Structure 1
Amino acid sequence: PVVEDDIDWWSKYYASKGELNKCGSYAQKGYETLTILSHPLELHEIYEGFSDFCRTFELSRGKTKFEEENEIVGEFKGLFKVYPLPEDPNEPLPHRTMENLPSNSLEECVVRVYIIRAIDLQPTDSNGKSDPYIEIELGKTTIDNRDERIPNTTNPVFGKMFELKTIIPTAKDLIIRVKDWDLLTSDDVIGQTTIDLENRFLSKYRATCGLPLQYNVTGPNQWRDSVRPRKILYDVCKRNNLPVPELLDEQTIKIGDYLFHLEDFEQEKHLTIHVGDDEERLALYILHKLRLCPEHVETRPLFNPIQPLIEQGRLELFIDIFPRSQGSPGPVFTITPRKPKP
């Protein structure tokens, strides 16, 4: 996306946090903000842990002795539904709640991991600081930015994007580690967090790529999804057994008995020169009414496997998942940290 004058991705970030002294003219120009979450995305109150489609059950190996700990050897994902049958066999059966299921075939995906910053990391060096960097593991792939470690800090601003390819569900667990660089000894793991990409991919809340508040085709907030809003709206309605959206004209969409008019959403909005077509903007407004996952930054606690119950700091980030079957992903956000002006 294009950067305008004093506007960059960090302008949106600071405007969203209410730190207007750091966002330049971003707010005055009418650009939209994003959602800042103080917790992991899946723990948001409406998202059901992204287990709305299927739940995860750990599989453990049987014990030979009572004192032995359970050994987790895998996971089973599934969901059971019990329907009461009518007493009269001539009455229709209950409506099925699990229809239009996602495909169970392997899905090749591009995954973009945006690491914003870490907060209150547990120090590992004798000076009460650390030299943190990021390591990401997904399946058999491990990448890091060790050469870009940030010296002597417990609150590093990383501003780094990592792009990986994966096949869901073959490699679904994304592990993000914050490690401490050491010159003479092996690098220590400060803390890590694990994200189940398959749950996000399958969820009805469409947690693959957070929806921005506005559909822009140019500018600093250019649309980054591989699918445009109207196609997303069609797919969401189909999956949730809703009527197919009908485009009556460029500013009116009908879904069942409901009519949605663009003017109802934009009466008090200040539109920039970067917005896209009317029907795409309207579709996006409707999608937000369906409570799908918005554009966001989530905050995840970090834990060390050696001390699994003690938080070692927090990490701000967001993740985009782009299935290859839906086309090429949009442009990358540039989140490089700002440099002090001389």
Structure 2
Amino acid sequence: MFLNLSHLVVQYAGRSRPAVDGVSLGLLAGEIGVLIGPSGCGKTTLLRAVAGLERVQAGTLLLAQETVSSSHRHVPAEERRIGMVFQDYALFPHLDAGHNVAFGLAHLKPAQRQQRVSEVLDLVGLGNVHKRYPHELSGGQQQRVALARALAPKPRLLLLDEPFSNLDVDLRERLAHEVRGILKLAGTTALFVTHDQLEAFAIGDRIGVMHEGRLHQWDDAYALYHRPATRFVADFIGHGVFIHAQITQHGDNVVVHTALGDLNDMLECPLPGAYPDGVCDVLLRADDIVHDDAAPVRAQILRKAFRGSEFLYTLQLQTGETVMAHVPSHHDHALGEWIGIRAEVDHVVTFPRE
């Protein structure tokens, strides 16, 4: 692993609980990792520990197989060769784009410095803005200049702390895809912090979900959505709900009994012995529920959110349990209306009943 965190702990004085509590994760050279979670979960503190801006109380942090943080060793931030892109870009308003990018290149001769500035501005698609000042650039262009400045000294690792949070929603996801392309082209290893799931999915090879200082899962986006390791990850990622279920086995056939009917013939399913009497909660995503007027199960529309090509319906079953469903927007039903639904599930994700 190029970046390797093992059981890392960061504890602030006067706090009863660690801000980062035993986190382990790894990134290969050239991979992009993303930390996501609710406010106060410890993701920015973890990023600052990687940067060398926070000391660790336990565990180890290796960068290119060198221990840079542990309980008895702390390599200063300026000696780690790590680049950072901040939430507010931190561009110097009195310097044009070229001089902003050149700021960390004082060790190079003037001709080499100018060549490197041109290289990275071309890399981020801004080869024509050398002489323009930050106030003359759009938010997206300012963000790219900040990225170019961080890449210019050829850091071993790049850290990005919610770099798109000041931009509008549409621009965020598009810029996330563009930044991913730039980082891949540069071969840069990066660790990125965001609270936006679409950003995380757009940019990350590996995504970590944090809560109360702990890393619940470190995986790709598909696994987080379809195979969440904990109930928190299942609840935090995507649209989904839990409904009561009971698992039984008849010969080789495992059946999950729910208020939506029996789920069987799944690719993956735990055996009844995984839970007392097979009683559990099953996770149902909005894309697991299909609107079907011919289905025997009826549900009442509690809420509807228009998403352009589809509605996101929140539906109440006759048992009182709720599910969510993505429904094509030409199925424009009224609040309070009862519609037919069925489950289309090929693998079951279950958790102990709450």
TM (norm. structure 1) is 0.25
Q: What TM-score does the superposition give when structure 2 sets the normalisation length?
A: 0.24
Decide which structure has the larger Cα Rg and report it.
2
Greater relative contact order (Cα < 8 A, sep 6+): 1
